[in-house]
Amino acid sequence: MSQAESHPQDGPATAEGWKLLRKVLREQRTGLLQGVVIGLMWSAGKVSIPQLFKLGVDRGIEQSGSLLFWAGAITCAGIIAGFFAGWRRWIGFRESRWTESSLRERLFTHLQGLHIGYHDMTQTGQLMSRASSDLGQIQGFVVMIPITISNVAMVVAVMVILLSSQPMLAIIALAPLPFINLAARRFSHDIHPAVLAIQAEQAELANVVEESVSGIRVVKGFGAEATQMRKLEKEANDIRHVSLGAAKIRSKFLPGIDLLPSIGLIAVLGIGGHRVINGQMSVGDLVAFNTYLTMLIWPLRNIGMTVAFGQRAAAALMRVNEVLSTEPAIADPPKPVALPSRASSAFTGAVTFSNVSFGYNNGQEVLSNLDLVIQPGESVAIVGATGSGKSTLARLLLRFYDTTSGDITLDGIDIRQLRLSELRRAVAVVFEDTLLFNDTVAANIAFSDPNALQDRIESAARLAGAHEFILELPEGYNTVLGERGYSLSGGQRQRIAIARAIVADPRVLVLDDATSAVDPAKENEIREAMTTVMRGRTTLVIAHRPATIALASKVALLDEGRIVAFGEHAHLLATNAKYGEVLAAQEKNIAEQTNQLVGE
């Protein structure tokens, strides 16, 4: 169901959207006021032109006055109006771009602060739509504010002039105006749900495109291009359908809004012409009156357009506010505690899981009353069947999620009492799925510390066993990696990820199944790099392969949400049947994967 369909009643939703929009605009009232003042100057210059034209006709033509003088006066008024028109538009764009930039920065900052669980449940395309097309709608409305207010001022000024100079003719000529207002209000009411539907469908289309591009290897690997194309065609057709619905509404109302002022022109020509013939008006009066009436057409239509822009902006801001109003489930504590200095102890990085229970959104517990103590400088491999919760331990240690019950401490401090930034500087992870950024090799290695010196970057690369192959790249450390680093092999990406963790210099290193995606022929090189990095550092090794498990000094067997055995690999293998079963199952899976690779 689209968002538009889920909010068929536009009353409360529209009111909330306008309320949010007013709140955003209050932050820019000084700049917008400046634009309004400049717009009023434009209005004054614009309104003076018909008066000067009237005097030019009456005095310069009928009374044989100086036409050159009046032509010059009209030219000066036109130049003034043009100057302030350009200035007004520049102010409008300046403020609108400031609004867009400010909201985009707020949205991006808020998105980065939201917990992992939110991102797990939210489509990336929906977020991209809010950060692009929705913010564009808001920007398009803000730029119209100084323009529209000056247009309103001009309309008021023109109406005052018309009513004061020719009251009866003005009443007849302006009679359609209430109907224009009524049509604009009805148009605003009808267009709002159509606008919501368009924006919701655009978000769905963006999601299909984002998934297809980011998952292009899967799409091509399964030959599913036609499947994705059908998805895109469906969303594109949905956009076309709802857009045509909105266009139908516009085609129904906008011609009438354009036509109604023209009725006034017909009345002016008929009645005003007879008044000139009868000597009740001068030709200049009629020309000026007709010019003023013509001047009302575009501003009145502009006001109607601005109402439509406002509806779209209010709807867009509601969608943006859905994200901004989401409170992070994981946040810094009100009174954070600092970790003890690393200089105060030869070894730091003590990790304790005490009676920890946790389950994801489905409510089923993954961990249940789990206890685990890792001493400073100790390396512990977490072993268990697939789905037993091994990676969940790493996510809880990083506070990607909080425990349902129980405590996790780092160097004696409950991790919920630490600032998130300090915790995540103290714990570095080499993930199973290595993500590298579209940047240089050096920048990827120095991701945790962009100011790291080149010597430090190269030292980390040497420790990770990456220095040699990096030098063979076209521009060495300055080589720009492609999307997600896919221009490199899996082993090369993993070694750069290890170098990135070395630069971070964490108290605790988590190796989350870091060799699972690596060619078995290259696994020895990766393990050597890991051994170097792990030396003297608290390390949590989440692994399936026995050779990787052997990197750790101790092994913890995870089963049914608890640590059921803890000790050295050889001892557990000799004394614990469950441990042997898990290893045997993992070796079987690895053998099957290897045979598959050989067969290919």
Are the C-beta atoms of 484 and 371 separated by less than 8 Å?
no
CA-based nearest residue to 546, from 579, 500, 592, 504: 579
Residue 54: exposed, middle, or buried by beta-carbon count in 10 A (0-12, 13-18, 19+)?
A: buried
Query: Average pLDDT over the chain, rounded to whole?
Result: 80
346-350, 476-480, 483-487, range with the lowest pLDDT: 483-487
User: Does domain 14-324 fall into CATH 1.20.1560.10?
Assistant: yes
Residues in the chain: 600
Cα 455 to chain centroid distance, Å, stands at 36
Q: Which residue has the tokens 């207002």?
A: 181
For the chain, helix, strand, coil in percent to 5 are 70, 10, 20
Average pLDDT over residues 304-320: 77
Three-state helix/strand/coil letters over 507-573: CEEEEECCCCCCCHHHHHHHHHHHHHHHCCCEEEEECCCHHHHCCCCEEEEEECCEEEEEECHHHHH
Q: How far apart are CA 319 and CA 131, in angstroms?
A: 10
Q: How far apart are CA 506 and CA 539, in angstroms?
A: 10
Phi, psi of 100 (to 5 degrees): -60, -45
CATH 3.40.50.300 boundaries in the chain: 346-599
Work out the percent of the chain whose per-residue pLDDT is above 70.
Answer: 87
- 230-241 per-position pLDDT tens digit: 888 888 898 888
Split at pLDDT 50, 70, 90, the class of 94 is: confident
Strand 351-359 and strand 405-410: the pairing is antiparallel
Q: How far apart are CA 312 and CA 415, in angstroms?
A: 44
346-599: CATH topology is: Rossmann fold (3.40.50)
Given a cut of 70, whether residue 442 has pLDDT beyond it is yes
**The pLDDT value given to residue 397:** 93
Given a cut of 70, whether residue 502 has pLDDT beyond it is yes
What DSSP assignment string belongs to 234-266? HHHHHHHHHHHHHHHHHHHHHHHHHHHHHHHHH
- Gap between the terminal Cα atoms of the chain: 43
Given a cut of 90, whether residue 408 has pLDDT beyond it is yes
**The pLDDT value given to residue 384:** 86
**The pLDDT value given to residue 505:** 84
**The pLDDT value given to residue 8:** 37
CATH 1.20.1560.10 boundaries in the chain: 14-324
Given a cut of 90, whether residue 354 has pLDDT beyond it is yes
328-337, 417-426, 524-533, range with the lowest pLDDT: 524-533
Position with higher pLDDT, 216 vs 39: 39
Given a cut of 50, whether residue 415 has pLDDT beyond it is yes
Task: Record the tokens describing residue 113, joined without a space.
Answer: 């602060």
Average pLDDT over residues 522-540: 74
Are the C-beta atoms of 258 and 183 separated by less than 8 Å?
no
Average pLDDT over residues 391-409: 91
Are the C-beta atoms of 542 and 563 separated by less than 8 Å?
no
**The pLDDT value given to residue 221:** 66
Q: How far apart are CA 227 and CA 375, in angstroms?
A: 52
Position with higher pLDDT, 189 vs 168: 168
Range from 63-67, 289-293, 328-332 that averages highest in pLDDT: 328-332
Are the C-beta atoms of 276 and 125 separated by less than 8 Å?
no
Given a cut of 80, whether residue 451 has pLDDT beyond it is yes
Given a cut of 60, whether residue 597 has pLDDT beyond it is no
Q: Residue 552 gets which letter from DSSP?
A: S
Q: Which residues contact 171 (CB under 8 A, 6 or more apart)?
A: 163
Average pLDDT over residues 135-139: 83
Phi, psi of 337 (to 5 degrees): -110, 140
Average pLDDT over residues 84-103: 85
Split at pLDDT 50, 70, 90, the class of 324 is: confident
Task: Record the tokens describing residue 188, joined without a space.
Answer: 């605003």
Task: Record the tokens describing residue 210, joined without a space.
Answer: 């984002």
Work out the percent of the chain whose per-residue pLDDT is above 90.
Answer: 11
Split at pLDDT 50, 70, 90, the class of 16 is: low
Q: Which residue has the tokens 């920007």?
A: 139
Split at pLDDT 50, 70, 90, the class of 434 is: confident
Given a cut of 80, whether residue 480 has pLDDT beyond it is yes
Average pLDDT over residues 376-382: 90
Split at pLDDT 50, 70, 90, the class of 523 is: low
Position with higher pLDDT, 515 vs 72: 72
11-15, 111-115, 142-146, range with the lowest pLDDT: 11-15
Q: How far apart are CA 296 and CA 308, in angstroms?
A: 19
Are the C-beta atoms of 144 and 309 separated by less than 8 Å?
yes
Are the C-beta atoms of 73 and 52 separated by less than 8 Å?
yes
**The pLDDT value given to residue 304:** 67
